[in-house]
Amino acid sequence: MCAKKKNSPLDRYRIYLRLEKGLSPRTLEAYMSDVEKFAAYIAEEGGDLLTVELEQLRDYLATLVDVGIHPRTQARLLSSLRSFYGFLKMDGYIESNPTELLKSPKLPMHLPDVLTLDEIDRVIDAIDLSQLEGQRNRAMIEVLYSCGLRVSELCNLKISDLYLDEEFIRVTGKGDKQRLVPISPRAIAELNYYFNDRDHIEIKPGYEDYVFISERRRKPLSRITVFHIVKELVEAAGIQKNVSPHTFRHSFATHLLEGGANLRIIQAMLGHESIATTEIYAHIDRTRLREEIFEHHPRNKYCKNNK
């Protein structure tokens, strides 16, 4: 066993997540909470975080299964532990990482709803431009879909992040990581129309640089407000799918893949840290391909007509 550092492992891990990984406070606390839960479990079992073995980790996961913890939560907890023990090994607390041979729980494949191009147009057409916020909502949906943004990225988008002459925007994603994303000419046009309306809003001091402003509150749109706007527009468009702001991000990625884009390009556009996160869109595309074959292949048509 390597020599311990002056601070406790948990204290040093927190510093590592904040300073070296650059995690947001919310994400940092989620990691710490997961590790602290495991630390409490090990303490109750009379063990020690620095001498944990593979079997103890397996027992912990078995306990999670027994109490009915969802596989996705199990996978998240395991991811946090892998990160923690990877740090302990890197920082000299332990010589080997006990999580390396631990298998992740099998997750049920969940394919998110995706909007077709026609459905996206129907949502946009459902916007009432005679209303004060109409052009803002039109620009908002176009940017959401054109750039594949998370709702938090949309709400935090600033005018200083826009490079419309170059047809790019700068997006600040998870962990304050920034990326440049192309923006479509149509989205640029809708933004410019919106800026004409935005100029008449008396924005509260300190928020002047934010793109999407609530006329009533004179502050940036909140995530909840964007969810509410999307739900109303989808209902007005007569679309029966389960649609949220994130659906436009899924649709953006799926349409890119269907158009022939490389998964690595989509990964960079979405700001995914792991290509594994992006690969769900490949599965969506294969599923759609199968549906199209069953719907349009002459052999299948013959079978249906002769049932």
Residues carrying an active site annotation: 150, 174, 246, 249, 272, 281
Token readout for 253 is 């990625």
Q: Contact at 8 Å (CB) between 138 and 190?
A: yes
**Sign of the alpha-carbon dihedral angle for 80, 86, 88, 93:** positive
DSSP string for residues in 18-53:
IIIS---HHHHHHHHHHHHHHHHHHHHTT--GGG--
Q: For residue 213, give the 3-state DSSP assignment.
A: strand
Q: Do the beta carbons of residue 2 and residue 93 sit within 8 Å?
A: yes
How far apart CA 145 and CA 251 sit, in angstroms, is: 7
What is the crossing angle of helices 71-90 and 25-44, to 10°? 90
Helices (H), the chain: 9-15, 25-44, 54-66, 71-90, 117-125, 134-147, 151-155, 185-198, 223-236, 245-258, 263-270, 275-278, 280-296, 298-305
The region that residue 238 occupies, defined by phi over 0 for left and psi between -120 and 50 for alpha, beta otherwise, is: left
Q: In angstroms, what CA-CA distances link 2 with 48, 89, 94, 96?
A: 15, 9, 6, 10
**142 DSSP assignment:** H
